[in-house]
Amino acid sequence: MRVVSGIQPTGNLHLGNYLGAIRQWVRLQDDAAAQGGQALFFLADLHALTQPVVPAELANATVEMAATLIACGVDPERAILFNQARVPQHSELAWLLGGTARVGWLNRMTQWKDKAGKNREGASVGLFTYPVLQAADVLLYQATHVPVGDDQKQHLELARDIATKFNLDFGTELFTLPEPYVSPAAPRIMSLRDGAAKMSKSDPSDASRINLIDDDDAIAAKFRKARTDAEPLPETPDGLAGRDEARNLVTIYAALAEEPAQAVLDRFAGQGFGAFKPALADLAIARLGPIRTKLTRLLDDRNAVGATLAAGAERARALAAPTLLAAQRAVGLQV
């Protein structure tokens, strides 16, 4: 079992990242350790360069995001935690895979379409080839399980297509086909301001997301102001159809409580949001408080977090080297 996943070190970690991805990272890290496998988690700082960055902030943001992951339960003793830029094999393999990936495949990526918007000509080349680097990220380590939120599934399907074509074109069985691991317990979390848009660090409205660094008052205020409707909560999840905002809040409650939506509705059916929102805020505060406390402590010693990343990168380079060499051999760059 080889678990690999990454996150961009831009902005703060929010509840969508946590419930949609990071909690699964921690579970799989523990499963991998129990089975003698290995988990690798990285800060995708090279991917961050595909959008405008503030150079003075990138390295700091990387350390902060690493500390947040540790606070959420990623254990650098059990998993390898590093930043992508320190493992040059990621970029090297991405270039080799660039010969295999097709422009038509990349053109179909919804994230590219969303992020480039109407101004495709003005978008960075990196934004377009972003999924090729992401494919390199997982293929480099022969990942078997890639825990991601629902929005990243398309990129992983592309990684499988690239791996399949590479193996076929070069008559090799080099690359393991990675499985996107989207756990049913890992829901897509939507914006608190718009139930049709995903909760995102790039949303200009901070009120749209719960950040893991938000204090108790901010969490309570954001849930209080979250958009909802005037109907009471229904008896069953089917009754949430067409009520995106209401469904999102029930989804968040269920994920935080680690119980099915039905169990939440059994308790709250017939009640309005005046009762539900404070209960949700209390639950979120109880769950996120300990993470924030740990994060604050970790950020008191940023150098220690930096040293953890450097040690992780060294281990990652050692694991990455044989696959890169084999890929170079397969395409004829090495004998």
Catalytic residues: 115, 198, 201
Identify the DSSP state of 201.
T
Binding part of the chain for ligand TYM, among 55-63, 130-138, 237-245, 319-327 by CB under 6 A, reads 130-138
Q: Which is nearer to ligand TYM, 232 or 237 (CB)?
A: 237
| Residue numbers 166-205 binding ligand TYM by CB under 6 A | 188-189, 198-200
Quick one: which segment of 101-109, 148-156, 242-250, 258-266 binds ligand TYM (CB under 6 A)?
148-156
Residue closer to ligand TYM by CB (options 24, 228) is 24
Q: Does 152 bind ligand TYM (CB under 6 A)?
A: yes
- Cβ 9 vs Cβ 42: under 8 Å: no
Handedness of CA 251, 256, 258, 263 (dihedral sign): negative
- Concatenating the DSSP letter of every residue in 288-314 gives HHHHHHHHHHHHTTHHHHHHHHHHHHH
DSSP label of 233: P
Residues 3-42 binding ligand TYM (CB under 6 A) are 5-8, 16-17, 20-21
Determine how many CB atoms are found less than 10 A away from the CB of residue 125: 8
How many of the chain's residues bind ligand TYM (CB under 6 A)?
Answer: 23
Q: Binding mask 50-89 vs ligand TYM (x if CB under 6 A, - otherwise)?
A: ----------------------------------------
For position 158 contacting ligand TYM by CB under 6 A, the verdict is no
Is 149 a binder of ligand TYM (CB under 6 A)? yes
Q: What is the spatial distance between Cα 322 and Cα 181, in angstroms, rounded to a whole number? A: 25
- Which residue is nearest to ligand TYM, using beta carbons? 20
Q: CB nearer to ligand TYM: give 7 or 254.
A: 7
Using CA atoms, how far apart are residues 185 and 254, in angstroms rounded to an integer? 9
Euclidean distance between CA atoms 280 and 276, whole angstroms: 6
At what angle are helices 125-139 and 89-98 packed, to 10 degrees? 110
- Taking only Cα atoms into account, the Rg of the chain, rounded to an integer number of angstroms, comes to 21
19 is written with which tokens? 């419930």
Among 97, 138, 255, 309, binds ligand TYM (CB under 6 A): 138
Residue type, 28: L
Query: Under the rule (CB under 6 A), what is the footprint of ligand TYM?
Result: 5-8, 16-17, 20-21, 44, 47, 134, 137-138, 146, 148-149, 151-152, 188-189, 198-200
